Amino acid sequence: MLKHFELERRGSSLRQEVVAGFTTFLTMAYIIFVNPQILAGAGMDAGAVLVATCLAAAFGSAVMGLYANFPVALAPGMGLNAYFAAVVVGTMGLPWQAALGAVFCSGALMLLLSVLPVREWVVNAIPRSQKYAIAAGIGFFLFVIGLRGAGIVAGSDATLVTLGNLTEWPALLAVAGFVAIVAMEHLEQPGSVLLCIVVVAGIGWFSGLSPAPESLVAAPPSLAPTAFELDIAAALEAGLLTIVFAFLMVDLFDTSGTLVAVLNEAELTDGAGRVPGLRRALVADSSATIVGSLLGTSTTTSYIESAAGVRAGGRTGITALVAAGLFLVSIGFAPLATAVPAFATAPAIMFVGCVMARAMRRVEWEDLTESVPAIVTALAMPFTYSIATGIGLGFIAHVLIKVAGGRRRELNAAVIVVAAAFALRFAVT
């Protein structure tokens, strides 16, 4: 069995891989606390979502480890879970069952693109500046959601948003948690995000700011409230196709970028920076999204936090398998996870948002025909409270500015078609 993982050829050992698996899990285990809370805002059962989150993460990580043999763990992705709950369900008023159907459809399309030799064409057809802007825009979007969850900002009829009450303990604890996460990450402390969530939540429990869990462990909650409740037929209606497209686009770019970055760190890329066996990794990723939607969670994707495990020595799929096993064990800690208050997870959401927003540094700032549309994309997401709208406005701006600037030859058919489709959508809605 161990021969399959090529430990010797990749310069690793079983002990090294186990340590790396624990390290990876600790850096991304915060999703066990955050995802149920975010999706509960869409009306979903928090206990069922917790089980679905752990099962989807375990399935995706196990497939990545066994099939692709890469040290990359998966779990429901940040950003798309907030978009799922706050926009698709919260703002658009769609039932969460239809939103899960959209996640399933995007996963099926992603799987098709991964199997067929068209994925590279799709990814390469999108301007690089827009890829970076989409990642950064989701980061800004997450940061705003984190601020709202902490009570640091509040709605305002006069100015859209305004400063919240910073004299309240939940807001102060969220700020302290955010600062602590950044400081610990700077010092490369493993598991800093998870540790800060637990500490802030503990302070909230002992001070009476939020109800404490009745126990630390218990029998797993029922998966019945969310399992196989998705509505695929509703997701295929014309009005939801842009939502499916948004889920697909973000997952496609996020997954590709994450895999290349992590596997380059693990020295598993070739001389040109390409990843041998990338198609198997993409199949694992898209399959996890499909399974996750069936169980009751938003898009499952590869985690950039896997780089922490790589730095700890992970070089094979055993790292991912260890992480998968730990996600399964975590299901028993449902009482602890579901009792975590919003002000304890808000610092994690804000920090992840800041990390994602750093993608804007790679935009070609001197070229206004690239940087301005990128800014439109990134800022439109939080201000319109929609990832899909941000992508649409950014693509339209990209096409119009390139044409007006006399550089229409730099446009390709895919970008023009996407921009035209969004323009039509905005015109009729």
CA dihedral 64, 69, 71, 72 (to 10 degrees): -20
Q: Evaluate whether 64 touches 196 at the Cβ level (below 8 Å).
A: no
Q: Evaluate whether 138 touches 356 at the Cβ level (below 8 Å).
A: yes
- Three-state DSSP at 365 gives coil
Q: Evaluate whether 32 touches 43 at the Cβ level (below 8 Å).
A: no
- Distance, in Å, from the CA atom of 20 to the CA atom of 163, rounded to the nearest integer, reads 41
- 301 forms beta bridges with 75
pLDDT in tens, the chain (429 residues): 677 888 888 888 999 999 999 989 988 999 999 999 999 999 999 999 999 999 999 999 999 999 999 999 999 998 889 999 998 999 889 999 999 999 999 999 999 988 887 766 776 677 889 988 988 898 899 899 899 889 999 888 888 889 998 999 999 999 999 999 999 999 988 788 889 999 999 999 999 999 999 888 889 999 999 999 999 998 887 567 788 888 888 887 778 778 877 887 788 877 655 677 788 888 999 999 999 999 999 999 999 889 888 888 899 999 999 999 999 999 998 898 888 898 999 999 999 889 889 989 989 999 999 999 999 999 999 998 888 888 889 999 999 999 999 999 999 888 898 889 889 878 876
Given the structure tokens 């996407």, which residue do they identify?
418
pLDDT of residue 313: 86
pLDDT of residue 229: 96
Q: In the structure encoding, which two tokens stand for residue 362, read together?
A: 């790679």
DSSP category for residue 412? -
Nearest Cα to Cα of residue 113 among 272, 253, 270: 253
pLDDT of residue 204: 95
Q: In the structure encoding, which two tokens stand for residue 243, read together?
A: 């939502």
CA dihedral 330, 301, 28, 264 (to 10 degrees): 130
Q: Which parts of 64-191 fold into alpha helices (H)?
A: 80-82, 96-115, 119-125, 128-150, 169-186
pLDDT of residue 120: 63
Given the structure tokens 């990390």, which residue do they identify?
355
Q: In the structure encoding, which two tokens stand for residue 415, read together?
A: 């970008």
